[in-house]
Amino acid sequence: MSRNNNGLIGLIYLLWKNKVILIVIVLSFTMLSIIISLLLPKTYKADVTVLISKSRSFSIPGIEILSNLGIPSGIGLESNLNKVMTVLKSRTLLERIIERFQLQERYRTDSFEKTLKKLRSNVKINVGEESQIIISVFDRDKYKAAEIANYLVYAADSILRTLNYDVAYEIRTIYENKYKEVIDSIKFYENKLKLFMDKYNVISLPDQLESWISMLAEVHAQLAVTEVEYNVALKTYGRNTPSVNQLKMRIDAFRDKYNELLNNPHNEKLIFKSEEVPKIEVLFSQIRRNLTYYTKVLEYLGPVYEQARLNENKMVSIIQVVDKAIPPERKAKPKRAKIVVLTFIFSSLLGIYYIYFKDKYNKLKDRIKKFN
């Protein structure tokens, strides 16, 4: 304990004896840091806060069936948040900012890539505890910082709307093509049925046959609708996802059921084998089956197609601005007080170490002289 006290007292005495050197070192570094901090250009930070909608930016027609089956649809807050973050960090968005505000001239860079790198360093994106996104833009002009921050949100929303419209357009096209195909098929078989009934004077068939036809049509219609939903989900989510795999399993199940009904001549609802059906009844059943099938498909497809058309023309933004960026009153950089305090601490330690080791060196030098 006494050694520690002696060492501490000795150090204090040593510093007091060399106080002029210590003061010169500390004042020199501190004054230099003050001058440098005053010469550094001021940088301002403008913040804009946005919320991400929890609802879907657009609904996928027909995909609600998956939710009823307990299958996650894959579209929600997390998906929207990831999508917005991807767009905010995208090169496409930053290129728009550079062109809009002529940042290559403003940053005085000799290449576009350097301008892009400089802009990335001046834009900070953080996600808050409540999933709000805080976008911070740094610039030497406080008004320009706020303007860039607000335009960045506007441009990101514009890109997201374009992406959503492209997806909605593709989905609507899928349903529209199938819808037109179904309408044409219904017209064809309606005309064929009329000609058939006029030719053979056919009015009705036994209830058992009608029931069998109805079952075939129902299964076939569900198969067709599921195939359309599969194509939409495949384009939206990609392969090997729960939604796509579940729809593929449903397609296989409907196809097996349809083949079973079609190829089993001893169905319990029929009192005769299919090969025993007279030629007229077979032809009639084929026409009615196809007509019933396409009618069922239209019942499913009609509302879904209309919803797809509405989605294409009505894009809802998933970005909601909570606080627009305003020109900040105070600078964000440089933090002069912090620079001066840290320099003072550093120079003090440097001065202490210098005096201490200089004293050690002098003592060692004296010992060597005495020894010689």
What's the pLDDT tens digit per position in 345-365?
888 888 888 888 888 887 787
Alpha helices in the chain (DSSP H): 2-17, 19-39, 64-68, 77-88, 91-101, 103-107, 112-122, 142-200, 207-237, 242-263, 279-313, 336-371
Model pLDDT, residue 211:
65
Model pLDDT, residue 46:
93
**272 — pLDDT class (breaks 50, 70, 90):** very low
Model pLDDT, residue 133:
92
Global pTM reads 0.55
Residue 366 has pLDDT above 80, yes or no: no
State the residue for tokens 């996802």: 241
Q: Could you give the percent of the chain with pLDDT greater than 70?
A: 80
Residue 215: which of 298, 280, 288, 279 has the closest Cα?
Answer: 288
Q: Is the dihedral of CA 138, 139, 143, 144 positive or negative?
A: negative
Residues in the chain: 372
The residue extents of the domains of the chain are 1-40+337-372, 169-317
Model pLDDT, residue 163:
84
**121 — pLDDT class (breaks 50, 70, 90):** very high
Residue 76: which of 59, 90, 55 has the closest Cα?
Answer: 55
Q: Is 262 exposed, middle or buried (0-12, 13-18, 19+ CB in 10 A)?
A: middle
**265 — pLDDT class (breaks 50, 70, 90):** very low
Residue 34: which of 45, 24, 26 has the closest Cα?
Answer: 26
Residue 5 has pLDDT above 60, yes or no: no
**206 — pLDDT class (breaks 50, 70, 90):** low
Residue 268 has pLDDT above 50, yes or no: no
Rounded Cα distance, 288 and 186, in Å: 10
Residue 1 has pLDDT above 50, yes or no: no
**2 — pLDDT class (breaks 50, 70, 90):** very low
Model pLDDT, residue 65:
42
Model pLDDT, residue 69:
32
Residue 22 has pLDDT above 70, yes or no: yes
The mean per-residue pLDDT over the stretch 179-196 comes to 87
Residue 180 amino acid letter: K
The mean per-residue pLDDT over the stretch 88-100 comes to 93
Residue 55 has pLDDT above 60, yes or no: no
Q: Residues near 213 by Cβ (< 8 Å), separated by ≥ 6? A: 285, 288, 289, 292
| Beta-sheet pairing, 123-127 with 319-323 | unpaired
